């Protein structure tokens, strides 16, 4: 079984869209664990109504704390950490698991607008998204505007776009990460441990930890991006929702506090960046 863990604060239209596509496009039997960080717009009630396990926090916790709360009750052999402001692709889970198995990966992410197979391809899709988002965001964050942005972005053929990527990049992966969708096996969790609750950039920290362990112990490959599995990310919608200050904000550190420049350079030199 797959355990999907998602943290939220309000954004009911986003949450409804997220669930609609998650239910439609996930092939593996899954449990959905929602970490509700003090929502006031019935988002928690919505997820409870569709059968998700909902942990209700009285305050807003940071990403790594929220993910670890979900981990504490997750039952699945596969662990998916998903943002709520994404639209998953058809069979995203099966394709990502197949890619990880083929490439001997215990932690991986989907590709997306943030990073594709080349810098040129990434720049092209980012420019298109910025133009479309700039126009549609004038309407505000509504169910209509979200659907319109997604439809225009992929020329009205989301399934076709995803099918084409899968056929061109089947089972191909590149080292790196796109943080909106992270998949981990139980064995990967045993080796890397839970999310570091002191890290504001917890996804980058997880990538660096996997990279460092691959060098020092050689029992895991660094986090990779599955190039055949693309999830759409609306990007920065969570920030625009203006959530309250993290209750654990005073405990959060910057990446450079944990990963000084000398150690980052050592990692880059050992694996070629």
pLDDT tens track for 33-61: 999 999 999 999 999 999 999 999 999 99
- Domain presence at residue 245: yes
Q: Which two tokens stand for residue 66?
A: 């929220």
Q: Is residue 43 part of a domain?
A: yes
Q: Give me the residue label for tokens 């009205």.
A: 156
* Domain count along the chain: 1
Statement: the pTM of the whole predicted model exceeds 0.85: yes
Instruction: Tell me how far apart the alpha carbons of residues 7 and 35 are, in angstroms, rounded to a whole number.
Output: 4
- When pLDDT is averaged across residues 115-142 and rounded to a whole number, the result is 90
Spatial CA neighbour of 84 closest among 26, 185, 9, 174? 9
Structural domain including 43 reads 2-129+161-267
- Coil, helix or strand at residue 211: helix
Say if 153 falls within a structural domain: no
* pLDDT tens, residue by residue, 204-233: 999 999 999 999 999 999 999 999 999 999
Residue 155 domain flag: no
| CATH code, domain carrying 108 | 3.90.550.10
Q: Do the beta carbons of residue 23 and residue 52 sit within 8 Å? A: no
The answer on pLDDT for 271 being more than 70 is: no
DSSP string, 129-150: HHHHHHHHGGG-S-HHHHHHHH
CA quadruple 33, 18, 114, 251: dihedral positive or negative? negative
Residues 1-36 have pLDDT tens digits of 999 999 999 999 999 999 999 999 999 999 999 999
- Return the H-helix or E-strand segment holding 49: helix 43-49
> pLDDT (tens digit, 9 = 90+) per residue, 59-100?
999 999 999 999 999 999 999 999 999 999 999 999 999 999
């Amino acid at each position: 079984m797959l355990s999907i863990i998602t943290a939220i604060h309000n954004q009911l239209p986003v949450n409804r869209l997220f669930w609609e596509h998650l239910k439609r496009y996930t092939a593996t039997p899954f449990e959905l664990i929602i970490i509700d960080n003090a929502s006031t717009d019935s988002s928690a009630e919505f997820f409870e109504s569709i059968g998700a396990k909902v942990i209700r926090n009285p305050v807003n916790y940071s990403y790594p704390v929220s993910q670890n709360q979900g981990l504490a009750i997750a039952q699945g052999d596969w662990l998916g950490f998903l943002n709520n402001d994404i639209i998953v692709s058809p069979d995203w889970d099966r394709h990502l698991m197949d890619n990880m198995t083929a490439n001997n990966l215990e932690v991986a992410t989907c590709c997306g607008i943030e990073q594709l197979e080349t810098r040129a391809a990434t720049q092209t899709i980012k420019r298109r998204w910025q133009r479309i988002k700039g126009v549609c965001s004038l309407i505000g964050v509504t169910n209509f505007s979200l659907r319109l942005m997604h439809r225009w972005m992929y020329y009205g053929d989301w399934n076709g776009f995803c099918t084409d990527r899968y056929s061109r990049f089947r089972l191909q992966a590149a080292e790196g990460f796109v943080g909106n969708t992270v998949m981990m096996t139980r064995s990967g969790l045993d080796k890397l441990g839970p999310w570091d609750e002191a890290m504001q950039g917890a996804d980058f920290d997880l990538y660096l930890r996997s990279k460092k362990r691959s060098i020092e112990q050689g029992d895991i490959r660094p986090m990779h991006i599955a190039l055949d599995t693309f999830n759409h990310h609306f990007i920065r919608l969570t920030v625009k929702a203006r959530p309250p200050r993290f209750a654990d904000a005073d405990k959060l550190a910057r990446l450079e506090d944990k990963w000084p420049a000398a150690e980052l350079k050592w990692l880059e030199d050992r694996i070629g960046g």
